[in-house]
Structure 1
Amino acid sequence: MSKTGPIIIIDDDPDDQEMIHRILSRLTPETELKKFNDGEAALAYFLSTKDRPFIVLCDINMPLMNGLELRKKMETEPMVKQKMTPFIYLTTTASPDQVLMAHHLAVQGFFVKGQSYNELKETLTDIMAYWKRCERP
């Protein structure tokens, strides 16, 4: 895993995607941010890139391929799995079933975006601080 690779944002809501992008641009101005609107586009990127992303921030409820389906497919692709990229769900709502299913998929975190810009900023600040300090293979 790389601490210098791009941050991957996967979210179908353009407003949420832009807010996440804006916050991360301020928190980590030196880091490239890549945005995808659905799981299919993100999977195509993961299968074709040589990048070693720093972290993946993924919504759950998306068209074409939701975040849970994306994670399942990523886990079956050796080329993707070997990069050992931290995979974090960052979603608007969380049912107990979604949280359970996510953790069965060996994700590294599950967070609700919050109701305000400040809540989202606080959550992203905590996530980034943790993963920047974390030692990984």
Structure 2
Amino acid sequence: MGTPMVLLIDDDEINNYVNSSILHKEFPHLEIKQFTSAEEALAHILSNADIPYYIFLDINMPLMNGWEFLDELDKLDIILNLTIFMLTSSIDQADRDRVKTYSRVNQFLVKPLQRTFVQSLFNK
């Protein structure tokens, strides 16, 4: 297994930039890739399947949303080392309930990414 990589998947470049800055401030050596397209992020994961990933995934995105991204992962017949967090602006209880139906998702987080959460995640 390789060194863990963080993937920020959000169609809003500003959100990706802010979250990347928060992560880099706490952990400057962390490798972070930003994607504004869930399809591109999925292609990256599949072409680099041996890397463990921490994924911060938005729900509402054009073309492929966060739910569709998770559905595509579930269709794969390969083992991936993924730690997925839904990071969204949604405060809809239906989204909170739906995320519980995806075993791959570790936690539902509301934007913005909190520094204390990042510290607890990577200081284990």
Q: TM-score range by the shorter chain?
A: 0.7 to 0.9
Aligned mates of 2:82, 2:119 — CA distance in 1: 13
Which residue does 1:22 correspond to in 2? 21
Task: Name 2:111's counterpart in structure 1.
Answer: 113
Match of 2:56, SS state, is strand
Gaps of 5+ in 2: none
TM-score normalised by length of structure 2: 0.87
Letter in 2 for 1:56: I
Deviations 1:38-97 (A, max 9, x none): 211111111111442341001110011001110111122122xx2231110011123111
The runs of at least 4 consecutive aligned structure 1 residues that moved more than 4 Å come to none
State TM-score, norm by structure 1. Answer: 0.80
Is residue 27–residue 125 contact of structure 1 (8 Å, CA) maintained in 2? no
Maintained 8 Å contact 1:5/1:51: no
- The aligned length equals 123
Task: Indicate the residue corresponding to 1:83 in structure 2.
Answer: 80
Q: Is the 8 A contact 1:91 1:113 kept in 2?
A: yes
User: What is the identity, as a one-letter code, of the residue corresponding to 2:42?
Assistant: L
Point out where structure 1 has 5 or more consecutive residues left out of the alignment.
Answer: 115-119
Letter in 1 for 2:109: F
Distance 2:95 2:115 in 1: 20
In 1, Cα distance between equivalents of 2:60 and 2:14: 15
**Mapped partners of 1:51, 1:27: distance in 2:** 25
SS at match of 2:98: helix
Determine what percentage of the aligned residue pairs are the same residue: 31
User: Larger % of strand: which?
Assistant: 2
RMSD: 1.9
**Partner residue of 1:73?**
72
Structure with the largest fraction of helix: 1
The equivalent of 2:42 in structure 1 is: 43
What's the CA shift string for 1:16-46, capped at 9, x where partnerless?
1110011111111111101110211111111
Residue-by-residue CA offset, 1:109-136 (whole Å, 9 max, x unaligned): 001014xxxxx3xx24314523542xxx
* DSSP 3-state at the match of 2:64: coil
